[in-house]
Amino acid sequence: MPFPLARIVFNKLSMIVILAVAAITVSAQRPKPSPSPTPVIDDSQTIITNIRRVRLPITVTDKKGSFVPGLTKEDFIILEDKVPQQIETFSDDISQITPLYIGVLIDTSASTAGKLKFQQESAMNFIQTVVKPRKDRVLYGTFDDEVKLRQDFTDKLDLLDKAVFATKQTGTHTALYDAVWQFCDEKMRSAPGRRVLVLVTDGGDTYSRANMRDAIDIAQRTETTVFTISTKAGFLSTVPGVEAGQVLNEGDRVLQSIAEETGGIAFFTGDMLALERSFSRISKELRAQYLVTYNPANKNYDGTFRKIDVKLAQGRGDLKVRTKRGYKAISDAP
C-alpha cells in the first residue's frame, strides 16, 4: 500500500511541474507589445512648435488723461532691449474679443477694520460694472497674516457677492508681496484671457517671504497688469501728515512701483468717493486698451531682463503710452 501512495504523490508533483513548464513556454512564446511606431512625416504634414509670444495690453491717454481710441497697428513701435519687434496681432477693441480674468484682492489686516465694509462695497460695485456674464471671470481674495482665495474665477455675481461680504474678521499683518506672488503663480498664469490684479490696501508689506522685486517679476512673467489702490489716507482712520493723492512714504512708492512696472496705475484715495472713482477708472481703462502681441527676436531664455518700450509714430507726441516695462526671459513664463 505505501508504494502506490508514493506513486500517486509523485504523479501529482510531475503534473504540476509539467503544467508550470508549459505555462513558462507559452509565456515565452507570447509576443511582446511592439513599441509605438515612429511617426513618418512627409512634406504635406505640418509640424506644430510652441513659440512664446509677448502680449501687451497698452493704454494710450491724451494730456487730459482721457483714453484715446482709433489708433492703428501702424501707430505703434515696439522695442525690446532697443531692438524693433514685428507686431503679429493687433486689436483696438479687445473688450469684444478677449475675456478679462480679474483678481480683486483686499487687505484685511487690523488697520483696515474701520474701512473694510466700504472697501467691500466698492469692490463689489466694481465687479458688477466690469464683468460681462458668460465671458469675463473674477476671483476674490484677501491678505493679512494669510493669503486666502475666497472665491475662484467665476462670472456668477451672487457667488462673488457672498464671498466679498463673508469676510468679517481681520488679521494682524500685511502679506502684500506674497498675495501678488501666490495669485499670479497659481491663478493668473493659466488664465486664458487678459490678466489683471486689483490690490486694495492701506499700508506697506509687513509679513511676506517674497519681496517687491519677486512680486513685480511674477506679474510681468505671467503677463498680469496690476492696479493698486491705497486707502491709507482718510476714511474713518487717518494718518497724520498724509493727504489724498500724495505719495509720501516707502509703502506708497512700493504700490506705485508694482503698478507702473506691470502696466497698471496706482491710486491714492482719501475718501469714499475717491475709492469709487478709482474702481470706475480701472473699469473704463480695461475697456479702452489696445492689445499687441509679438514674437521676440531674441529667443534665448537665459533669465535676463528684457526691457520693453512702446512708442507712437511721429506726429503723436502729445499722447502718453503705458504698458509693462519688461519681463524676465524665463522659459516657465506663459
Q: What are the tens digits of pLDDT across the range 75-125?
A: 999 999 999 999 999 998 766 778 999 999 999 999 888 889 889 999 999
User: Residue ranges per domain, the chain?
Assistant: 54-334
Q: Which of 23, 33, 54 is nearest to 325 (CA)?
A: 54
Range with lowest mean pLDDT among 63-77, 237-251, 272-286: 237-251
The CATH number given to 54-334 is 3.40.50.410
The DSSP code for 39 is: P
pLDDT for the residue 187: 98
Q: In the prediction, which pLDDT does 100 show?
A: 95
Cα end-to-end span (Å), the chain: 84
Residue that wins the pLDDT comparison between 149 and 17: 149
In this structure, what C-alpha cell is assigned to residue 113?
477694520
Q: What's the Cα-to-Cα distance from 198 to each of 2, 82, 100, 118, rounded to whole Å?
A: 93, 30, 12, 16
Categorize the per-residue pLDDT at 52 as very low, low, confident or very high, splitting at 50, 70 and 90: confident
The average confidence (pLDDT) of the chain is 82
pLDDT (0 to 100) of residue 31: 39
Q: Residue 150 in contact with residue 143, Cβ under 8 Å?
A: no
Is the pLDDT higher at 304 or at 17?
Answer: 304
* pTM summary value: 0.81
Please give the C-alpha separations between residue 44 and each of 38, 120, 318, in angstroms, as whole numbers: 17, 58, 51
Instruction: Look at residue 316 in the predicted model and tell me its pLDDT.
Output: 77
- Mean pLDDT computed over 270-289: 90
Please tell me the predicted confidence (pLDDT) of residue 331.
Answer: 75
Q: For residue range 224-257, what is the model confidence (pLDDT) as tens digits? A: 999 999 987 654 444 333 344 555 688 889 999 9
**Per-residue pLDDT at 1 exceeds 80:** no
pLDDT of residue 231: 86
CA–CA separation, 334 and 330 (whole Å) = 9
191-194-198 Cα angle (round to 5) = 90
| Per-residue cell: 165 | 461680504
The answer, yes or no, to whether residue 154 has pLDDT greater than 50, is yes
**How far is CA 221 from each of CA 32, 188, 224, 272, 327, rounded to the nearest angstrom?**
47, 10, 8, 34, 6
Predicted confidence band of residue 133 (pLDDT cuts 50, 70, 90): confident
With cut-offs at 50, 70 and 90, classify the pLDDT of residue 204.
confident
pLDDT band with cut points at 50, 70 and 90 for residue 332: low
Residue percentage of the chain with pLDDT more than 90: 62
Judged against a pLDDT cut of 90, whether residue 32 lies above it is answered with no
Q: What CA dihedral angle connects 109, 140, 330 and 262, to 10 degrees? A: -70
Cell numbers for 240, please give them: 497724520
| 302 within 8 A of 329, measured Cβ to Cβ | yes
pLDDT-derived band at 15 (thresholds 50, 70, 90) equals very low
